[in-house]
Structure 1
Amino acid sequence: MFLTRFRINTARLGSRNLLASPQHMHAAVMSSFAGALPSAENTSRVLWRLDRNSRAEVLLFMVSEERPDLTHLVEQAGWPTTAAWQTYDYKTFLDGLTIGTTWAFRLTANPVHNVRRTPNEPLKRTAHRTPRHQMGWLLKHQQDAGFRILETPAEQRRLPQGDEHQLIVRDERRHRFSKTEMITGMANQVPLVTVTFDGRLEVTDPVALRRTLTLGLGKAKAYGCGLMTLAQAG
């Protein structure tokens, strides 16, 4: 497994096109792998995420089984003569995860649930709209994903409701794009709501957490969702 980091040059026209469209970014990411054929059913999963730390600092992270070649992204959206990308061996880090260790984490996800307005209406996938419900979505998935989000000490919680967990939700983004159905050939408008979670967690199941870090969490993985990364907790 490999973890790759690439800084996007936001001043370039090609960057603006990629940053405005999850579809275009997905295509650019998949073009980084010689073995990723669009028609191949056994193509390995590639996770990616954009970290928009500031207007001038946007980072692309990727997790993949195959080592990527981002030459085309450097030429389109980077600094061709002065900067490239960094790819790290991820397996060593994953193998070192142990129960009880704590980490800071970041995750961009598509928090959704299935609802129906009437008893006879089929279930419809709908995005959670409020930060509290979005947090609830992640808390619901934490056990199966191999971690526990740390609680906030009582004396540090804000009134009146307080922040029960060391978790924040930020950078909500709403996208809408056309997607062609394979069977009918018709194009449908697809809505996509993404949010970024920052917080602190404790490892409860290293095997499950390794699966989460390499296969992703939640829906819309092709569009920049599901990739969780860990860092030393300060």
Structure 2
Amino acid sequence: MSTLSRIPINPQLRQGRRMLTNAQVMHAAVLSCFPPDISTDTARVLWRIDQGENAFTLYITGPEAPDLRVIVEQAGWSTRPGQTTDYRPFLDRITAGQEWRFRLSANPVKSIPGAAGSRGRVVPHVTRAHQAEWLTQRSGKHGFEILRHPEENAEAMIAVTRTEDLRFERAGATRPVSIRRAQFDGGLRVTDAELLRRALQQGIGRSRAYGCGLLTLAPFTQ
């Protein structure tokens, strides 16, 4: 089983503000919604915060249904307890050739080789153009290609609509964790349904425990 959940987050609550501003706090809260012995062989726990006008929505995917009360009671509204749906029927309907709107929160990085005998470095892409190129170059191995606008010689249908730099303390780490998170919105065409299903359940890129990697699809008619 694979599930997709959504929870409105209340920024007026103290814990709601903490979850929205500290990826480590949100990571711990999301994991607490699942039993500790869950299997992540086919689907792992992923999460993403979508921000609208005066609204924050937490999306979670996982290998089984979560107990959303853990987050709702601390950071949501009792009148809007969150929703969980079985993700499998949607995943099974994905076929090559389909076109979808997509949203992805990811950590676009590049590796810089070190000198001979030394370890290289992983650094974030800084510009939105390089961040978009990062996803475009990786799309094929995740079962999709980025669409282009219908006009002749049009640009790719991809935009980096939000970026943020996360910095937080992690237990056992000798220094703070720093992550650059980018939100991608655009259109895609399915090239390999199985690879795309895997990406939807396993995530894309690094830092997937901290709000990166969750890809979602929606029809163009919405």
> Which of 181, 189, 211 is equivalent to 2:176?
189
Q: CA deviation at 1:152?
A: 2.4
1:51 paired residue number: 50
1:165 aligns with 2:156: yes
Indicate the percent of aligned positions where both proteins have the same amino acid.
Answer: 40
1:28 aligns with 2:15: no
Do the aligned residues in 2 keep the contact of 1:36 with 1:44 (CA within 8 Å)?
no
2:112 paired residue number: 115
1:19 paired residue number: 20
Q: CA deviation at 1:35?
A: 3.5
SS in 2 for 1:67: coil
1:152 paired residue number: 149
SS in 1 for 2:71: helix
Q: 1:117 to 1:68 in 2, by over 3 A?
A: same
Q: CA deviation at 1:34?
A: 2.2
Q: 1:47 to 1:145 in 2, by over 3 A?
A: same
CA distances 1:77-120 after superposition (whole Å, capped 9, x unpaired): 1112x110110110000000011010000000000010147566
> Which of 173, 197, 213 is equivalent to 2:200?
213
2:69 paired residue number: 71
Q: CA deviation at 1:10?
A: 1.7
The CA RMSD over aligned residues, in Å, is 2.1
Letter in 2 for 1:174: D
Do the aligned residues in 2 keep the contact of 1:28 with 1:73 (CA within 8 Å)?
yes
Distance 1:121 1:153 in 2: 47
Distance 1:27 1:189 in 2: 17
In structure 1, list runs of 5 or more residues that go unmatched: 158-163
Letter in 2 for 1:217: I
Distance 1:44 1:93 in 2: 14
CA distances 1:158-210 after superposition (whole Å, capped 9, x unpaired): xxxxxx201110211101222344xxxx5222210000000000000000000
Distance 1:72 1:129 in 2: 36
SS in 2 for 1:170: strand
Q: CA deviation at 1:11?
A: 1.6
Distance 1:19 1:105 in 2: 22
> Which of 170, 186, 204 is equivalent to 1:179?
170
Do the aligned residues in 2 keep the contact of 1:180 with 1:188 (CA within 8 Å)?
no
The structure with the larger Rg is 1
Moved more, 205-214 or 111-120: 111-120
Letter in 2 for 1:197: F
In structure 2, list runs of 5 or more residues that go unmatched: none
Q: CA deviation at 1:153?
A: 3.3
Letter in 1 for 2:50: D
TM-score when normalising by structure 2:
0.92
1:129 aligns with 2:130: no
Do the aligned residues in 2 keep the contact of 1:36 with 1:43 (CA within 8 Å)?
no
Do the aligned residues in 2 keep the contact of 1:114 with 1:123 (CA within 8 Å)?
yes
Letter in 2 for 1:229: T
Do the aligned residues in 1 keep the contact of 2:139 with 2:146 (CA within 8 Å)?
yes
Do the aligned residues in 1 keep the contact of 2:98 with 2:190 (CA within 8 Å)?
yes
